[in-house]
Amino acid sequence: MMAFNEIQKHYSEAENRLPRMVLKEYLQYKILEIIFSSKFGDKIIFMGGTSVRIVYGNDRFSEDLDLDNCGLTEKDFAALMEIIKRELKMEGIEAEIRNTYQNVYHCYLKFPDILFNNNLPPLKDEKILIQIDSFCVKEKIKPEIKIISKADIFTEAAVYPADVILSQKISAILHRKRSKGRDIYDLIYLFSLARPNWEYLKKSDSIANMEELKNILDKKYSDKDLEQLSIDVEPFLINPRKVIQIKKFNAWLKNLCN
């Protein structure tokens, strides 16, 4: 593993204000490189909030790795997680893994010593945790092949186009049992890159156009809700002042153009 002070040179001063997040993101990059370089890489599509950060340049850090899988069995998933553990160990990174298999394949990767080893004194019982969630693809959508590159990491990865990720994010907002400010932040960012894939949204949520979408989202959050949701996202923000985007979501929505 590259020395942490060398990793930090590939991040801005503002990003380095959150050194634990920088270290965690480096591990996410490293895990993605291992996944997409493995024999299972052609069955994986990178998605979710971390893809918005790593591939599409969002200015907030992210927690977990979300992956769609195309025909990956439980046995395949377990083998892939062992590959990750083994290759990380070869680079001097010790990881503990625990897999679960219910509706979604999950792997919980804990890094017990990495904070201490990189001169980031851990709080009591603090460990870096990265959760990998792998969803079986229900409807095949053609991904794009993107380059993922940071510090000493370089790989190609299959990723959904921005309009599809935006549509998936909208669907997540509508269906999550517990709302997340991170979803709103990502939504606003993705709208700066694309407009929703209406074909996708029509199938997933019966939303056919911008007017219908705005009508549904307009009823979703009160100003009090948004104030609370801003607390959820603030620890992940590179620029903490941008928390205002969550608080003013309803005003932003009214001004959103087709």
Which pLDDT score is estimated for 219?
87
Say if residue 185's pLDDT is above 90: yes
**Do 80 and 132 fall into the same domain?**
yes
Task: Specify whether 145 is located in the same domain as 180.
Answer: no
pLDDT at 258 over 90: no
- The stretch 89-102 carries a mean pLDDT of 95
| Mean pLDDT to the nearest integer, 93-105 | 94
Residue type, 213: L
Question: For position 93, what pLDDT does the model report?
Answer: 96
Q: Report the pLDDT value the prediction gives residue 18, as an integer from 0 to 100.
A: 96
**Of 97, 127, 122, which Cα lies nearest the Cα of 111?**
127
Q: How far apart are CA 131 and CA 66, in angstroms?
A: 8
The reply to whether 82 and 136 lie within a common domain is yes
What CA–CA distance (Å, rounded) separates 91 from 137? 32
Indicate the pTM of the whole model.
0.94
Residues 155 and 29 in one domain: yes
CATH code (residue 170):
1.20.58
Domain final residue pick, 103, 137, 160 = 160
**Comparing C-alpha atoms, which of 231, 228, 226 is closest to residue 248?**
226
pLDDT tens-digit series, residues 123-145: 767 889 999 999 998 778 999 99
Residues 61 and 124 in one domain: yes
Phi, then psi, of 136 in degrees rounded to 5: -75, 130
Tokens of 97: 């893994």
Question: 100 lies in which domain range?
Answer: 4-160
Mean pLDDT over 66-76 rounds to 95
Which residues face 68 on adjacent strands? 45, 135
Show the beta-strand stretches assigned E in 27-176: 44-47, 65-69, 96-101, 105-111, 128-136, 144-150, 153-159
User: What is the rounded average pLDDT of the residues 187-198?
Assistant: 97
Q: What is the pLDDT of residue 137?
A: 87
Q: How are beta strands 105-111 and 96-101 bridged, if at all?
A: antiparallel
Average pLDDT in the chain: 95
State whether 155 and 239 are in the same domain: no
Residues 59 and 37 in one domain: yes
The length of the chain is 258
Q: Are residues 203 and 90 in the same domain?
A: no
Please tell me whether residues 135 and 201 are part of one structural domain.
no
For residues 9 and 88, state if they share a domain.
yes
The percent of residues in the chain predicted with pLDDT above 70, rounded, is 99
Nearest to 214, CA basis, from 180, 170, 156: 170
Identify the domain boundary among 160, 183, 198: 160
Tokens of 35: 């996944």
User: Mean of the pLDDT values across residues 32-43?
Assistant: 97
The pLDDT of residue 124 = 63
Per-residue pLDDT at 200: 95
Q: Which of 103, 128, 160 is the last residue of a domain?
A: 160
> Looking at residue 48, which CATH number applies to its domain?
3.10.450.620
- What average pLDDT does range 218-245 have in this prediction? 95
What confidence tier does 91 reach under pLDDT thresholds 50, 70, 90?
Answer: very high
pLDDT, tens digit (0-9, with 9 covering 90-100), for 208-224: 999 999 999 998 999 99
Question: Residue 191's pLDDT band (boundaries 50, 70, 90)?
Answer: very high
Return the HEC string of 188-240: HHHHCCCCCCHHHHHHHHCCCCHHHHHHHHHCCCCHHHHHHHHHHHHHHECCH
Same domain? For 183 and 107 the reply is no
Mean pLDDT on 192-197: 97
Over 80: is that where the pLDDT of 12 sits?
A: yes
Name the pLDDT band for 121 (thresholds 50, 70, 90).
Answer: confident
141 and 218 within one domain? no
The span from the CA of 197 to the CA of 206, in Å, is 12
Per the structure, how many domains does the chain have? Answer: 2
